[in-house]
Amino acid sequence: MNTGSKNTIAVVLAAGKGTRMKSSTPKVLHEIFNIPLLGWVLKSLGDIESVIVTGSGRELVEAYLEDKNVKTAYQAEQLGTGHALSCAVSQIPDDFSGNILVLCGDTPLITNETLTSFIKYHNREESPLSVMTSILDNPYGYGRIVRDGFGCISKIVEQKDCTQEQAEINEINTGVYLLNYKLIVPLLSEIKNNNNQGEYYLTDIISLAVKHGLKPSAYCIKNFEEVFGVNSKQDLAAAFKIMNARHIDYLMTKGVTVCDPNNTYISPETEIEADTIVLPSCYIENKNYIASGCKIGPMAHLRGNCTIGEGCKIGNFVELKNATVKPHTNIAHLTYVGDAEIGSNVNIGAGTIFANYNSVTKEKKKSYLADGVSIGSNSVLVAPVELGENAFVAAGTVVTKSAEENSLVITRAPQKEIKNWIRSKK
């Protein structure tokens, strides 16, 4: 992230229990396309320094964060969002004079662009405290933004504390804030828990700022989807759907043909070039790169770390993992390719298996197929094997040794014909 992010430290609130998930896994570790909700939030933060507040399921959350280059702060008891933020203060340098960006660990759809614009807005306004808000048709459940006679934000009222009149306000608190560390953090100690939930609400910081003569501002975003919070398994499925749709829309905008977006699943980590066609029921997870002019599917499964060159065909019931496929190669039917480097103009027949895993030694081995190789149907390639240019593997072969260019490889038992065999049985 650029403008203004240098003097920003993010605090991600992730200590809540997530009771409604009904799960032994902490809420923020539930995954969308194999990345935890919290991981998506961290991605949106780019290179902003962050402190993650952990609590429920602390060990698991901290284990996940171990290699993420973030600090963590522990909130032993979940006394509310205001209390959670004060727990993070110990991890922020005393002489810090920038802004704190507060967001929640359960909003995986927030984007770097929106956070960047929010930071720019906050800096331009020279605001001591900015709240990201949105207008909802059905604001039920959210904190409401209360404005004074001049249209300035004066406080946030939680659903459970709303008067009938306040409940009709459509502008809601998204739970994303930017606050001037030096001016606002000292006010955290003034937050009280005299509300209907007996919690220390971070939202009370707004009226406290006003009381101290500091004018908060509100940054209203149009795309509410971005701050959609995941609280239940239903929400998790909804967030998955939105994230998938958003990425497929991006791919279509750049020229990828997706025949049936509602029945196609492509991780945002996968990049696909224009003029590739993705047929229905493909599941493409993790990081992959697919060049242009390919035909993928129907019903293909790319599991990650795959690079597919131009003009390839990856057909039905083909599973690929950790594979590089050079241009104009066909892997058209019922095949598993794991841990392989495959040249260009290769043809892999139906029902080919790359046996890459030894379940005794637990080792995975790689295979190499040079340009022009042809694999006959129902063959097994027991890794590691290396096949030279234009090598030809006959159908039904179990390849256990490498072979030179232009060779025929065949392990087939000779065909026998026993004449009149049927009659002799009668």
Just list the catalytic residues.
Answer: 333
Min CB(377)–ligand UD1 separation in Å: 52
Site string for ligand UD1, 183-212 (x = CB under 6 A): ------------------xxx---------
Min CB(322)–ligand UD1 separation in Å: 34
Residues in CB range of 423: below 8 A, 6 or more apart: none
Min CB(33)–ligand UD1 separation in Å: 20
Do residues 365 and 356 make contact, with C-beta atoms less than 8 angstroms apart? yes
315 residue type, one letter: G
Peptide bond into 268 cis (omega under 30): no
Q: Which of 4, 36, 57, 80 binds ligand UD1 (CB under 6 A)?
A: 80
| Of 101-109, 182-190, 236-244, 359-367: span binding ligand UD1 (CB under 6 A) | 101-109
- 14 versus 110: smaller Cβ distance to ligand UD1: 14
- 40 versus 265: smaller Cβ distance to Ca ion: 40
Q: Which two tokens stand for residue 8?
A: 């920003």
CA distances from 41 to 74, 164, 229, 373 (A): 19, 34, 11, 44
Min CB(16)–Ca ion separation in Å: 7
Q: Which does 143 bind (CB under 5 to 8 A by kind): ligand UD1, Ca ion, none?
A: ligand UD1
Q: How many CB atoms lie within 10 A of CB 74?
A: 14
265 makes contact with ligand UD1 (CB under 6 A):
no
Min CB(17)–ligand UD1 separation in Å: 8
Min CB(230)–Ca ion separation in Å: 8
108 makes contact with ligand UD1 (CB under 6 A):
no
- 75 versus 116: smaller Cβ distance to ligand UD1: 75
Binding region for Ca ion (CB under 5 A): 229
- 216 versus 229: smaller Cβ distance to Ca ion: 229
122 residue type, one letter: H
Q: Which two tokens stand for residue 282?
A: 């493909």
The label of the residue with tokens 């129907």 reads 298
Element of type H or E holding 171: strand 171-180
- 88 versus 308: smaller Cβ distance to ligand UD1: 88
Residues in CB range of 71: below 8 A, 6 or more apart: 49, 50, 51, 52, 91
Q: Which of 36, 175, 343, 372 binds ligand UD1 (CB under 6 A)?
A: 175
Q: Which of 60, 79, 245, 299 binds ligand UD1 (CB under 6 A)?
A: 79
Min CB(237)–Ca ion separation in Å: 17
Residue 262 burial (CB < 10 Å; 0-12/13-18/19+)? exposed
Q: Which does 158 bind (CB under 5 to 8 A by kind): Ca ion, ligand UD1, none?
A: ligand UD1
Q: Which of 4, 129, 158, 367 binds ligand UD1 (CB under 6 A)?
A: 158
Residues in CB range of 130: below 8 A, 6 or more apart: 118, 121, 122, 177, 178, 179, 216, 217, 218, 219
Q: How far apart are CA 314 and CA 335, in angstroms?
A: 9
The label of the residue with tokens 């791919």 reads 251
Q: How far apart are CA 7 and CA 116, in angstroms?
A: 13
106 makes contact with ligand UD1 (CB under 6 A):
yes
- 227 versus 300: smaller Cβ distance to Ca ion: 227
Site string for ligand UD1, 12-31 (x = CB under 6 A): -xxxx---------------
Min CB(125)–ligand UD1 separation in Å: 21
- 40 versus 142: smaller Cβ distance to ligand UD1: 142
Q: How far apart are CA 350 and CA 183, in angstroms?
A: 67
Looking at residues 35 to 54 of the shown chain, list those that interact with ligand UD1 (rule: CB under 6 A): 53
314 makes contact with ligand UD1 (CB under 6 A):
no
| Of 73-81, 315-323, 378-386, 392-400: span binding ligand UD1 (CB under 6 A) | 73-81
Q: How far apart are CA 74 and CA 52, in angstroms?
A: 8
Q: How many CA atoms within 13 Å lie on the side-chain side of 207?
A: 16
Coil vs helix vs strand at 71: strand
172 makes contact with ligand UD1 (CB under 6 A):
yes
Element of type H or E holding 210: helix 205-211
The label of the residue with tokens 């209390």 reads 83
Peptide bond into 261 cis (omega under 30): no
Q: Which residue is nearest to ligand UD1 (CB)?
A: 143
Residues that bind ligand UD1 (CB under 6 A): 13-16, 53, 55, 75, 78-81, 83-84, 104-106, 142-143, 156, 158, 172-175, 201-203, 229
